[in-house]
Structure 1
């Protein structure tokens, strides 16, 4: 198996690939999607913080043999859809996060909006993507006391992740701002705007009603 990866058989027709870091999860997920035609039929590919579950595998011995031959890069390629998230940076915790970073709120906005993020995995609520790409030095703790209600569209931080709340819910992440983008819409195919592997850029705007754009193939 490739460096940093270990494989376990799960149940009758599933395979769990364990990794040593979340960057390798993202790279493996992108690689699986790109090379799915080389593999036996897989019903579902589910990435998480340190694992990728391959469920409903038609020929598990063949899949294990194929995976053993792969060399998976640590970083995924830049190909794929890019979602721009227009963000009003007026969150309740922006000043506190800026203080943790030792910068002004204006500089904190620049720090957060400069990177290109990648959806590593989804969870917590339908349409909630865990985004990686924030500099390691900018990790922040969750709030000691979670809020009973976080508004839909809130752009937030916790640990090394950035996320956008797809609907109003309790939450303990640090709130930086808000967007009007619909992160989850059952009338859309697929319903989730931020799926694993999607690249994301946060674009500072003065009005959350400004529309976002989905750009194919990495163009801006």
Structure 2
């Protein structure tokens, strides 16, 4: 691990993989919950974790850089299920990339348990990991100017769901009616880092 100071009370901790970032994030949340870590915000990303509002960032930096990343802990919270119709316009392209049928793409995706690695891009957008690396797919060569809200998409090692209509270059394989972001809901985001997610296949309309 490498801990970089940010201002007077924050650290950016760099690790070597997404799995290590998830494990470190879970461990820091555990410490905060048990009262051994005083911090205002803990924000994971692809290979970093930001800690903001630390009373003594130098001490924590020294502790973290002298230790190893903890193992990924088993997930214990309930699974969020998202009902999805596998009707996306890029489903045939993904099937060709995977070397399987469109039906098989839907089966592989729906049979996978995902975990929200981190959030970003738009409020409510979670970057979900879980598919084996052999199913990584490239982004589209030409991004769409408008992707409908609820689009279930793939890019690289991640699955994501567009919480609102926006431009995007991910491969669209399905659609869900789930509301990913609702400012009137507590919490507003349906998915947060560490959340377990399964996609439940439903018939296309």
TM over 0.5: yes
2:119 alignment partner, one of 114, 118, 122: 122
2:162, 2:117 → 1: CA distance? 16
Count, aligned residues: 204
1:179, 1:52 → 2: CA distance? 30
1:73, 1:131 → 2: CA distance? 20
Q: TM-score, normalised by structure 1?
A: 0.87
Q: TM-score, normalised by structure 2?
A: 0.93
Cα drift, residue 198 of structure 1:
0.6
Whether the 8 Å contact between 1:20 and 1:50 is mirrored in structure 2 is yes
Cα drift, residue 73 of structure 1:
3.1
Q: Deviations over 1:91-134 (max 9, x none)?
A: 11111100110000111111111111111111110000011111
After TM superposition, the structure 1 stretch with the greater mean CA deviation from structure 2, 164-173 or 67-76, is 67-76
1:129, 1:94 → 2: CA distance? 20
Aligned to 2:11: 15
Cα drift, residue 10 of structure 1:
1.7
Whether the 8 Å contact between 1:41 and 1:59 is mirrored in structure 2 is no
1:138 is aligned to 2:135: yes
1:89, 1:105 → 2: CA distance? 9
2:95, 2:133 → 1: CA distance? 15
1:144, 1:178 → 2: CA distance? 21
Alignment root-mean-square deviation, CA: 1.7
2:174, 2:63 → 1: CA distance? 44
1:50 alignment partner, one of 43, 47, 50: 47
Extract unaligned runs of 5+ from structure 1: 209-220
Extract unaligned runs of 5+ from structure 2: none
Aligned to 2:194: 197
1:82, 1:142 → 2: CA distance? 28
Aligned to 2:155: 158
1:28 is aligned to 2:8: no
Aligned to 2:176: 179
